[in-house]
Chains A and B, each alone.
Chain A
């Protein structure tokens, strides 16, 4: 591997920055703010102004004399960062972030040029940028942005991937399944110019699209079928999971998708479906341990709702402001508790679905009765009796967890240092002040107002954050790499104009349609590029930030299961319903307090997609824990893609995969064609949507022969096991 050529780049990157800084004006957002944010804001920022010096606003910096615009020689900032005495020099040694000479030069130049502060890029209104031109062949507007950027860097895009790669890639990305050999054949035969677009439209219309996309959203929703903490009792909230699948299959526009989940219960004439959607914020953990303080854990759930809302829609780490004003971003503790206040006055009822019309009222009445008995010191027997009645009433039908606004609102206080027992100022629901203006009104704002503000055209973050996360699904990395941090400490976008163009298109052009956004991305030439590594790209853009090629991505845990199910031909295509129990070793519960119920699914339920596997928060199926599944504790905005020996053991030896490999082996024997060569081709089509080359075919046949000598009846199942263990099997090329 050409390592020497890489070592040439690293110094080039380091050397170019200062050299260029002298050649052209310094850009505050790109060059200066990250530097100040990293080295200074923690002590001289929004939360703390040591020595009365504040550097995150121009006003503050000029007032203290830290910066004298145009005069680096008069600015105390420059003086302090250039102190010859190591102890006196800023930032102090214990901060561990000393400035390099190049960084100091950048700061000096910026002050000399007038020390202009420009607003943080992500907090300004999204506007439609100009579309650049490129000499490279494009398929849609996305390509103009991506290829113009490559062109500027003197790089060329990669050629389109071959059709086999394309059908496997786009089928996995849109539906999470492998294309069947018949689908592959049909696509390879279709020579019409829009063969690929037809394929995309078929996949977008597939009911499996909703399942695949829902799993991404359920990561954000921290969805699980149990209560978490140590007791981790079961809960019924799968109707919410099914609501997400349906909404995505029906292409419910993202603004309504948002409103229904944050505040479906507050919509005028809310339907049962819209109430089910509020389950989004009922996916918090719930502590059932004996001897807990109920209010403490209600507060923890409310904190979780606040933080999750910040992460999912705003792409901000608002949680930092729970204990103190944010060290880097303009979010004060008051801002935090104003956002918190939207979720502070909720009840958390269980909603029956269907059944006799008065059942909900009956359950509610029994609930009140239980509370009354408890309050008035009734006997434990009486309470148990009522509980049994509630269980019986609920058992008559499916239930799900929903949010409901309390009739009497709670008074929300700032919690001093995040301690719910230390109450500070009283606050009203309101938006973070750096992002939006809370209207002056006597009427208290509700979750519905919050939801509508989130998806208003003026909100600078929701559309950017959302299209960025969608982009990440198809390229493995967002345009903003820190998909969960659009604040000062986050990365700058690699393609800022593309991000804003996609965001405007999403809101205005597509009317918040997710399917239109997905279609736009997957039909671009940028998406359709080959993922093969190229020496020139490896040398100049080793992380492929400029997208000169596609990226090979290891599949997510659930998709690995789904791929094995499709290849083996055993997939049960049923959509929705309660969680199921594919086989798992009983040892999974060795580390839990209670032995959990795992009534192993027999019959067709054994072969349901990964998204339907019952999720015990504290003892998830080993497939999920081994392949970086979401932990269902906090919003997971991006899955890790690790590559470990335990994954190898799982694919090679787990009874589920061995069973599916055996089924694939039988399928190859039965439908693979007249001879071994044809069978190997069929097997490659089933697993990789392509034909083997001669080397691959020869190696696989040699293995097959060796297995025949050991045991002729299991030779094909053994061969299928090899295929399902190849890197390519669990990779989207």
Chain B
């Protein structure tokens, strides 16, 4: 052994900073030499940094489908009947509620706005569900209802970022990227994180909604595009059929191997593997996207039509992605931002509820009948809720509200038909069992088998995590 004491210590001292390089620019030989601890952060036998890794403890859920209602749905029109609010309709909100609070658009003299929707109790659990979401009544007993959600930020961009990354500032990794970083991907022909989009406009946020932030782009989400070729650059150039594309891939592989032998650099093996996976993605994607193989009954249940992009089609696609080993699927549907004016709480709300109600219910039922609901966690909700006060606009609408709103979870290790949390008589504040966004994030990671305090990544001198320095697992809702 010729290594001097100094060298040995330098190696040891720099070791901890090595983790962030996993599979980034360092070959597997170096990896196997230095990685012995922190099992969750190191690739297993496969050289691929997306190779499955051991969770911190046995997971309840293998996959997450996050139905992101972009723009923030009104809990007061959907799930939270408030007779007292209806009684006080038109009155100025008592200052005891608004003191020290900040809002996006409304001012101090805002008047309370009762809901014009009718509600009924659903299922054994007795959850209140309005006329807008009739199909949800059929699945009420499958869901775990979080009626005391809270968040920190009241503008769309920062708030969406907060739900996804635990921080209102852009640049941190998404929850899905954290999960793939921690767990790897089960699928060898598909990425670990897929992002789908539907609705009249993009969900505000752009690449930040699927980027891996400061994690290597290995862990980046893949946005699926409309149309038969869902991934950018998936289709070979014109003139390349399967045979010709195969010849291309073979030639690239052979010449890369040649170079690997000349340089001895194992990173070239990773490149070769990446080309092989890309080729597999090319052949697997058309089958994945082809909804025509689904039975008519299934298509009708979702309300999906093959070849027609919609929220319903995305829900069905989400199920197909889970079947194929994708860990985290996020569906954005716009636009729930019902301030009043052209986007108000009357017909525009009716329409978006029609677009989302049936497909959500179908997804939960479909997962259940296929035996997939037990290990798939479905999350429904927006970036915040909406105020009990109306806005001073020509038609009825509500402003952004961060102090009390509603989300639901299903499957994947949470209680079924369970109501958790309660807001006050006008729906302003949470009075019982609040769940903060960081708590929800901690719980989702927990259900996936990851300890949110241990899933860390060093960046700019600090160990970052999804929940920053906050978050408590909501044990009351665990099945």
User: Which residues of A21-50 have CB atoms within 8 Å of chain B's CB atoms?
Assistant: 23-24, 30-31, 34
Point out the residues of chain A lying under 8 angstroms from B123, CB to CB: none
Within 8 A of A (CB), among B182-214: 191, 195, 197, 201-211, 213
A115-154 contacts to B (CB < 8 Å): 152-154
Instruction: Give the interface segment out of A442-450, A571-579, A606-614, A692-700.
Output: A692-700
Contact yes or no, A653 B236, CB < 8 A: yes
Inside 8 A of B33's CB, which chain A residues have their CB?
6-7, 9-10, 542
What A residues does B29 contact at CB under 8 A? 1-3, 6, 538, 542
Q: Are A96 and B217 in contact (CB under 8 A)?
A: no
Tell me which residues across on chain B come within 8 A of A726, comparing CB atoms. 252, 255-256, 259
Q: Is the Cβ of B34 less than 8 Å from the Cβ of A626? A: no
Closest to A304 in B: B169
Q: Which residues of A contact B226 (CB under 8 A)?
A: 587, 590
Residue count of chain B within 8 Å CB distance of chain A: 107
Measured CB to CB, the nearest residue on chain B to A19 is B5
Asked if A317 contacts B197 (CB within 8 A), the reply is no
A10 and B278 in contact, given A232-B206, A292-B155, A628-B216 (Cβ under 8 angstroms): no
The interface residues of chain B lying within 8 Å CB-to-CB of A703 are: 247, 251
**Please, which residues of chain B bring their CB within 8 A of the CB of A311?**
460
The CA of A533 and the CA of B32, in the complex, are separated in Å by 16
Binds B, one of A372-380, A480-488, A516-524: A480-488
Q: Is the CB of A725 within 8 A of B258?
A: no
Q: Does B158 contact A (CB under 8 A)?
A: yes
Q: Flag if B211 contacts A631 (CB, 8 Å).
A: yes
With A152-B4, A289-B157 already in contact, the answer to whether A545 and B233 are too (CB < 8 A) is no
A6 contacts B10, CB within 8 Å? no
Contact B274 A647 (CB under 8 A): yes
| Interface residue A733 (Cβ < 8 Å from any Cβ of B) | yes
Min CB distance A494 to B, Å, is: 6
**Could you tell me the distance between the alpha carbons of A726 and B249 in the complex, rounded to whole angstroms?**
10
Contact A543 B30 (CB under 8 A): yes
A228-254 interface bits toward B, Cβ cutoff 8 Å, 1 = contact, 0 = none: 111110000000000000000000000
Q: Is A546 an interface residue (CB 8 A)?
A: yes
The answer on a CB contact under 8 Å between A552 and B281 is no
Within 8 A of B (CB), among A601-622: 616-620, 622
The closest CB in chain B to the CB of A3 belongs to: B32
**A residues 628-653 touching B (CB-CB < 8 Å):** 628, 631, 633-634, 637, 640-650, 652-653
How far is A290 from B154 in the complex, measured between Cα atoms in Å?
11
Q: Which residues of A contact B18 (CB under 8 A)?
A: 543
Please provide the chain B residues from 5 to 51 with a CB less than 8 Å away from any CB of chain A in the complex. Answer: 5-15, 17-18, 23-26, 28-30, 32-34, 36, 49
- The answer to whether A643 and B218 touch (CB under 8 A), given A10-B36, A590-B197, A722-B252, is yes
Q: Could you tell me which residues of chain A, from 489 to 517, have a CB within 8 Å of some CB in chain B?
A: 489-492, 494
Q: Chain B residues with Cβ under 8 A from A595's Cβ?
A: 202
B281 touches A553 (CB 8 A): no
Stretch in B99-107, B133-141, B421-429 touching the partner: B99-107
**How does the 8 Å CB contact mask read for B105-147 relative to A, with 1 for contact and 0 for none?**
1000000000000000000000000000000000000000000
Q: Is A206 an interface residue when CB atoms closer than 8 A count as contact? A: no
A90-102: contact bitstring with B at CB < 8 Å (1 yes, 0 no)?
Answer: 0000001000000
Give Cα A481–Cα B104 distance, bound, in whole angstroms: 43
CA distance A634 to B172 in the complex (A): 10
- Mostly, the A contact residues are loop
A654 CB-CB contact with B under 8 Å: yes
Judge whether B248 and A96 touch: CB under 8 Å: no
**Chain B residue with minimal CB distance to A34?**
B13
State the CA gap A551–B31 with chains docked (Å). Answer: 16
A361 contacts chain B at the CB level, 8 A cutoff: no
- A589 CB–B CB distance under 8 Å: yes
CB within 8 Å for A1 and B267 given contacts A287-B155, A652-B233: no
Query: In the complex, what distance in Å separates the CA atom of A552 from the CA atom of B156?
Result: 43
State whether A654 and B252 are in contact (beta carbons under 8 Å apart), knowing that A541-B7, A553-B25 are contacts in the complex.
no
In contact, A616 and B32 (Cβ under 8 angstroms): no
What does the 1/0 interface line of A699-727 toward B look like (CB < 8 Å)? 11001001100110010001001100111
- Interface membership of A14, Cβ < 8 A: yes
When distances are taken between beta carbons in the complex, the residues of chain A under 8 Å from B8 are 12-13, 16-17, 20
Sample of 18 further A-B pairs with CB below 8 A, known A3-B29, A476-B25, A593-B201 = A13-B15, A17-B9, A30-B13, A153-B6, A291-B155, A317-B462, A481-B14, A533-B264, A542-B29, A554-B267, A587-B225, A591-B195, A619-B207, A633-B171, A646-B233, A649-B282, A652-B275, A726-B252
- Residues of chain B at the chain A interface (Cβ within 8 Å): 1-15, 17-18, 23-26, 28-30, 32-34, 36, 49, 102-105, 154-158, 160, 169-171, 191, 195, 197, 201-211, 213, 216-218, 220, 222-223, 225-226, 231-237, 239, 244, 247-248, 251-252, 254-256, 258-260, 262-268, 270-272, 274-275, 277-278, 281-282, 332, 399-400, 454, 460-462
Binding site for B on A (CB under 8 A): 1-3, 6-7, 9-10, 12-14, 16-17, 20, 23-24, 30-31, 34, 96, 152-155, 228-232, 285, 287, 289-293, 300, 311, 316-317, 319-320, 476, 481-482, 484-485, 487, 489-492, 494, 531-534, 538, 540-543, 545-546, 552-554, 585, 587-595, 616-620, 622, 625-628, 631, 633-634, 637, 640-650, 652-655, 658, 693, 695-696, 699-700, 703, 706-707, 710-711, 714, 718, 721-722, 725-728, 733
- Could you write out 27 A-B pairs with CB less than 8 Å apart? A13-B3, A13-B12, A20-B5, A30-B9, A96-B454, A152-B6, A153-B6, A154-B3, A229-B158, A289-B157, A491-B14, A532-B264, A540-B3, A552-B265, A554-B25, A585-B233, A618-B207, A622-B232, A633-B171, A633-B208, A645-B275, A653-B233, A654-B232, A696-B255, A707-B244, A725-B248, A726-B252
